[in-house]
Structure 1
Amino acid sequence: MVVLLAPSILLLGVFLLYPLVGSFRLSLLDWNGLGNGARYAGLANWVHLSHDAVFWQALRNNLLLALFSVVIQLPIALVLAVMLDKAGKGSRVLKLLYFLPLLMSSVAIGVLFKNVYDPNFGPLNVGLRAIGLDRFAQDWLGDPSFSLASTIAVICWQNIPFYMILFLAGLASFPVELSEAARLDGASESTIFWRIKLPHLQGTIRTAMLLAVLGSLRYFDLVFVMTGGGPEHASELMATYMYNKVFSSFQLGYGSTIASAMFLIVALVAAAAMRATQRYSQKV
């Protein structure tokens, strides 16, 4: 058994444990990442992080992204999954169309929506002006009041298909006999969904919520392409802040501190979620 697990353990150590330990080690240094000028700083980076208003703003934005991912993505994905499940074989084309955003590169989506949100020539503002709603036209990515909401909307659009497929898989495992028996007893379609199908999906919904929250806490690519964390850190996430500190400000030690803090936060949230899930499963 040990021999069979050895390759997996080796890969886990090389690609997960070693970088993780290295990141914590770098967080104790004051270093720009170039040359041999690394200086031991102890816990100075961690103390600075605890007073860094931008980091706390980034964490707040990550938590907002997690909240809206659960509140927006999952209900819409569930509705689409139920509709496609009822449509049967005729829904194959619709499934493909709904799934397309997930097949697109995040970079391509970011560039696409940067053009959509363009304040002067973007289709969104042009359309609003064309129907006489000029007052609603905004600098969607350049205004701190709208930049985070605008990026969250695109993130939801991209990721809803993933959860839709997840819920479709859960619905596909639902025994048809239960629905038929309920109909024979006079139950309506809405009663069947709320009283039978939705409880059947509880495990799938908990899994989807966990994936949405953890994914939101470490999100990076689309926000980086669209706003880079700006303007004025309004759409800053922990990952974009870490990237900017390392590759723009050349503060490798402090950037590693942010990365290590991200790991601790995600690990704590994952552990708490798993514990809550296990308790709920035992009660049910």
Structure 2
Amino acid sequence: MSTSLTLRKRRRKEHITIIGFILPAFLVYGTYVLYGIINTFYYSTLDWSGIGPASQAVQTGFANFSKLLKDGHFAHALGNNILLVFVSLVFQLGFGMILALIINSRARGTRFFRTVYFMPLLLSTVATGILWQLMLDPYSGLFNGILNFISPDQRLSWLGSEQVVMFAVLFVICWQYTPQYMILLRAGMTNVPDEIYEAATIDGASKWQQFWRLTLPLLSGTIKTSAVLSIVGSMKYFDLIWIMTGGGPNGYSELMATYMYKKAFNQDQMGYASTIAGCMVIISLAVIIIFQTMTRSREDRN
């Protein structure tokens, strides 16, 4: 009887200790994330400029959501976000895997390449945006200099052309964030025992077979985590687009976050901007749930 009582007291102390460690983080998360999300959906039901108390704003119900469904600018911005998700999953993860394999190899100079490949991620986003603005300048930029060398009198407005701007910015985003996935995948590769590859080599497996049959399956958890980070980051992306183009020209590089910012702070439509933010939350959750369901069903089949 005394033993069971002692075990109960010990478990109660453990539970109190666990709650004590979790509670501060939960309070911060609840205050700055959950409360903010709830307030966002509340503001989305208002016709509010952001100036003055929200309690005195006019209630509009779901009028802002109805307006958003008919908003062509938002639909275009959503399309750009989906394009960014696709490019991030294919190119950032793809090139991140290639770079991770290079720096994980035993070739000479891998320490040097680890530093070089990681450098884009060390730069601040503002510095990166200004740097690439200068390089993509139509008159004095490096890219047009190379283009003129190949084809004289040829000049391309990389950030001013409606047909080119999104691809130029996507290239810069991939350049900056590919090292992040390189590091994640490289960390996953270090957890794979060398004995597995040695046994595969003895059995006559080629490097390609080892990568396809061993590396990819063993990195499935890391790849899935990287993909989730890529999707979430792409759906709420803002900073580099805003610095380089501001969503222009004519909204052709607009994203949901830049469109939301303009509505909130340039046009004083805080209620409508909150509607955009709420839709960003809903769409991001829906995409993540679909992705998780698809990957889980594939894992179950395997």
State the TM-score bracket (shorter-chain normalisation). Answer: over 0.9
1:89, distance to aligned residue in structure 2 (A) = 7.5
CA distance in 2, matches of 1:200, 1:35: 55
Structure 1 match to 2:253 = 235
Which residue of the other structure, out of 68, 71, 74, is the alignment partner of 1:49?
68
Change in CA separation of 1:257 and 1:181 when aligned onto 2, cut-off 3 Å: same
1:112-143 deviation digits (Å, cap 9, x = unpaired): 111111111111112211233544x3111111
Q: CA deviation at 1:239?
A: 0.2
Runs (5+) with no aligned partner, structure 2: 1-14
Superposed, 1:17-96 pairs within 5 Å as 17-36=34-53, 38-87=57-106, 90-96=109-115
Give me the whole-angstrom Cα distance separating, in 2, the residues matched to 1:124 and 1:216.
26
Could you tell me which amino acid in structure 1 is paired with residue 166 of structure 2? L
The equivalent residue for 1:8 is 25
* Range that drifts further, 17-26 or 191-200: 191-200
Aligned ranges 1:87-106 → 2 under 5 Å: 87=106, 90-106=109-125
Counterpart of 1:247, as a letter, is F
**Greater C-alpha Rg:** 2
User: 1:148 is matched with which residue: 147, 160, 166?
Assistant: 166
Distance 1:188 1:151 in 2: 38
Residue in 2 that maps onto 1:246: 264
CA RMSD of aligned residues (A): 1.6
State the AA in 2 paired with 1:229.
G
Instruction: Identify if the C-alpha distance between structure 1 residues 4 and 166 changes in structure 2 by more than 3 Å, giving closer, same or farther.
Output: closer
Superposition pairs of residues 241-280 of structure 1, within 5 angstroms: 241-280=259-298
2:3 corresponding residue in structure 1: none
Q: Could you tell me how far 1:51 is from its partner in structure 2?
A: 0.3
SS in 2 for 1:87: coil
2:150 to 131, 135, 140: 131
Count of residue pairs the alignment pairs up? 283
Q: CA deviation at 1:90?
A: 4.0
Q: CA deviation at 1:162?
A: 0.6
Please give the residue correspondences for 1:219-234 in structure 2 after superposition, counting only pairs within 5 Å.
219-234=237-252
Bigger Cα displacement from structure 2, 190-199 vs 43-52: 190-199
1:44-68 deviation digits (Å, cap 9, x = unpaired): 1111001000001000000001101
How many angstroms apart in 2 are the aligned matches of 1:275 and 1:187? 33
Q: Deviations over 1:65-105 (max 9, x none)?
A: 11011111111111111111113684112101100101111
Is 1:163 aligned to residue 181 of structure 2?
yes
Q: Shift in Å at residue 277 of structure 1?
A: 2.9
Deviations 1:197-219 (A, max 9, x none): 22222222222222212211110
Output one character per residue of 1:154-194: Cα deviation in whole Å (capped at 9) or x when no partner.
00000110111111112111111111112112222222222
Q: Which residue of 1 aligns with 2:10?
A: none
Mapped to 1, the partners of 2:50 and 2:227 lie a distance apart of 37
State the distance in 2 between where 1:113 and 1:190 align. 36
Q: Which moved more, 1:250-259 or 1:176-185?
A: 176-185
* Alpha-carbon displacement from aligned partner over 1:13-58 (angstroms, at most 9, x marks no partner): 1011111111111111111111356222221111100100000100
Distance across 2 between alignment mates of 1:130 and 1:89: 34
| Identity within the alignment, % | 42
Distance 2:242 2:36 in 1: 23
What SS class does the counterpart of residue 105 from structure 2 fall into?
Answer: helix
Q: What letter is aligned with 2:64?
A: N
Q: Residues 9 and 228 from structure 1, CA distance in 2 versus in 1: closer, same or farther, beyond 3 angstroms?
A: same
Q: Aligned to 2:49, what secondary structure does the other structure show?
A: coil
Aligned to 1:197: 215
| TM norm structure 1 | 0.95
2:6 aligns to what? none
One-letter identity of the residue aligned with 1:16: V
